Homo-oligomer: A and B are copies of this chain.
Amino acid sequence: MSYWIWYQGDFERWHAMKQNFSRVERGLAWPAFWKSEGIRNRIALSKEYVLEEETNFTVYAHGVGFVLVNEDKYPFESAITCGPGRVKVTVHLGRLDALPSALVSGDVITSGPGWISDDYAEKLPAGFSPLYTDEEQDPAEWNYSEKEYLPVKTESVCGGTLYEFGTELTARLEIRASMMRLRGMTVYCGESRAEALAGKECYLFWKPEITGFGESATGHCPRCALRYVFIEGEPVELTAVHQYVDFPVRTAFACDDAKLNRIWNVAEHTFRLCSGIFFLDGVKRDGWIWSGDAYQSLLISRYLLADPGVEQRTLVGLRGNDPMTGHINTIVDYSLIWVLGVKTHIETFHDGEFLRLIYPKVKSLIEFCKKRTDVHGFLIGVDRDWTFIDWAEIDKDGPVGAIEMLYYAALSAAADLASMADDQEFENLYRAEADRIRECIREHFWSQELGAFIDSFTSGRCHVSRQTNLLAIRCGIADEEQTRLVSANVLHSDKVPPISTPYFQFFALDVMGQLGEIETVLDVVRSYWGGMLDLGAVTFWEEFDPSVTGDAQYGMYGDPFGKSLCHAWAASPIYLISRYLIGLEICEDGDDRFVLTPHLELFGVLECTLPVGENGQIVLSWDGRTLRVKALSVSCKLRVWGQEISVNNAAAVEVQLP
């Protein structure tokens, strides 16, 4: 098998740039507002062989250059004979307009693992992907899977025709009509009926590009999010070609609660739509790669796609080049959360090769952060750094408690990653710094008087937010007593403003789960996500406020259709149900890497299959009396009814309700 190869990480950076430049809003392109992390235009790809006999190979390449075999130069796309003996093959490549790449095809000499990529500054293992093995491909282009959809409903309305597809799609449109008609046509796409009918108020509308002639021309609109399409005039023949990344199905969920089943299914559908080359925030908007959103996707995907490819592409694409010149997405917290994401990924897949590649980037990120600390060692925002945390009101004066808590968590995660990468020196260094910061946080941000962590110790306002206190627990800052106080004084207090964004609701419910308040988690999942279902949602929304009615639900950020109706973080029930209700925990290391602690008391019947790592699966079947658990290509520890049972790759384990 020959793989297309490229400079390590440039494939991800190239496609991340493309992705971040692809946003369009009401006819205006909106490339993401942070530093684009470019690629190397000149690379050398090489491998040394000791050949026992003569062999042949051919090099295919995107770019200009030549093949160097020891001292001899050869062109691309012609058979090269070499050996026996020691042979060094180097593909020299330059490409101005896109990612340079090469494919070396031969019996013995064949590109893929073991090749080195060099940009004349740093040599790294060449990048490759199982998705690119065909000589006709160009890794600068993503090959989406495609599926045609026809409208399931057509309606004459507002002097035109409204076409409805069965669900939300990420599709390019093909419109068969006369050249004449196509020339004057505007195609309005909507996630909602109201949006498609809103004319220039809707987010995505297009003047189709026309191919063909006369009466049998075709209009083409670019790939975009749509469920409804409105076109003025009589009906035309319309096909939506859905373009997607075809992640295999590895998960199933069914229980005796029909609403929960529906929530799971819509969440899965939502998440798959938002997962492509990268984990995206939403399908209509932004289509940018955000570190905060990606982190939640990493936790959700652990129980759904469990695909290392999309995770690694996302982590590499987010992080960019060294040295860092600014925070990821310009957001201080998002740099820190990226480190948590790396740890999450490594925990899920235990991929030592990827760890070796990404760990230096963790180090340089921490190094970058260290340069932005104050006298306490607290991380502070400088220049154009954006301290986000959440849209809610948080006191961001001076060092921000929530940031320091994430900084502690990132340092701890970096220490864990250093340990896995056998970098004892930096493990000690990060661990010591983390411990110091934690003490410093407890000293400055804990208010014994309020029994809570405050947002800022410099403003004098002693503002208490749910966000800061949730992070204090989730990041491991709060000790047992502080956790008890925070739970009482903040999490279960009506005086502290509630979480209003689903982004932070993820963390809130995660903490509820960690604190063992499983029924609260289930209740919120059923009411919040069930509430969207009750309003006819076919995908879950960026945000949901049950008190808002009618088309007003579609508004956000002061925009009547600003809300994304298919948003990755809204798929969090997958995570919450898997992690806290089914109780599958994926731990860092050791014998107890996979622990299953199902809350069977919540289910009358439960049939579910969850992925574990890249190849494993855990199959659980519960009929109210008997629990059957199978572990495929993996082993796990089952904890149920006071028992602890090892489930191995061999036979199923059966346990009766005591």
Chain B residue numbers with a CB within 8 Å of A93 are 31
Minimum distance in angstroms from A44 CB to a CB of chain B: 8
Residue from B30, B34, B40, B97 in contact with A65 in the complex, judged by beta carbons closer than 8 Å: B30
Q: Say yes or no for A121: interface residue by CB 8 A criterion.
A: yes
Q: How far is the CA of A323 from the CA of B41 in the complex (A)?
A: 17
CB pair A94–B64 under 8 Å, yes or no, is no
Residue from B32, B33, B74, B121 in contact with A35 in the complex, judged by beta carbons closer than 8 Å: B121
Q: Say yes or no for A115: interface residue by CB 8 A criterion.
A: no
CB pair A98–B98 under 8 Å, yes or no, is no
Q: How far is the CA of A112 from the CA of B20 in the complex (A)?
A: 28
Q: Say yes or no for A300: interface residue by CB 8 A criterion.
A: no
- With A28-B66, A29-B94 as contacts: A38 and B35 at CB distance below 8 Å: no
Chain B residue numbers with a CB within 8 Å of A44 are 33
Chain B residue numbers with a CB within 8 Å of A97 are 96-98
Q: How far is the CA of A74 from the CA of B28 in the complex (A)?
A: 8
Chain B residue numbers with a CB within 8 Å of A29 are 64-66, 94
Q: Say yes or no for A149: interface residue by CB 8 A criterion.
A: no
Minimum distance in angstroms from A37 CB to a CB of chain B: 9
Q: Say yes or no for A39: interface residue by CB 8 A criterion.
A: yes
Q: Say yes or no for A607: interface residue by CB 8 A criterion.
A: no
Minimum distance in angstroms from A647 CB to a CB of chain B: 49
Q: How far is the CA of A32 from the CA of B330 in the complex (A)?
A: 35
Residue of B nearest to A121 (CB): B325
Q: Say yes or no for A119: interface residue by CB 8 A criterion.
A: yes
Q: Say yes or no for A387: interface residue by CB 8 A criterion.
A: no
CB pair A38–B36 under 8 Å, yes or no, is no
Copies of this chain per assembly: 2
> Among residues 6 to 52 in chain A, which have CB atoms less than 8 Å away from a CB atom of chain B?
17-18, 20-21, 27-36, 38-42, 44
The bracket for how many chain A residues form the interface is 35 or more
Residue from B28, B30, B33, B120 in contact with A34 in the complex, judged by beta carbons closer than 8 Å: B120
Chain B residue numbers with a CB within 8 Å of A325 are 120-122
CB pair A120–B326 under 8 Å, yes or no, is yes
Chain B residue numbers with a CB within 8 Å of A27 are 75
Q: Say yes or no for A207: interface residue by CB 8 A criterion.
A: no
Q: How far is the CA of A184 from the CA of B27 in the complex (A)?
A: 49
CB pair B92–A33 under 8 Å, yes or no, is yes
Residue of B nearest to A61 (CB): B29
CB pair A17–B96 under 8 Å, yes or no, is yes
Given contacts A31-B94, A33-B44, 6 further A-B contacts (CB under 8 A): A32-B94, A38-B39, A38-B40, A120-B325, A122-B325, A323-B323
Q: List 30 A-B contacts (CB under 8 A).
A: A17-B41, A17-B42, A17-B94, A18-B96, A21-B96, A28-B65, A28-B74, A28-B75, A29-B65, A29-B66, A30-B65, A32-B42, A33-B92, A33-B120, A34-B42, A35-B40, A35-B119, A36-B40, A36-B41, A38-B39, A38-B41, A96-B97, A96-B98, A97-B97, A97-B98, A120-B326, A120-B330, A121-B326, A122-B325, A323-B323
A residues sitting closer than 8 Å to B (CB atoms) are 17-18, 20-21, 27-36, 38-42, 44, 63-66, 73-75, 92-94, 96-98, 119-122, 323, 325-326, 330, 384
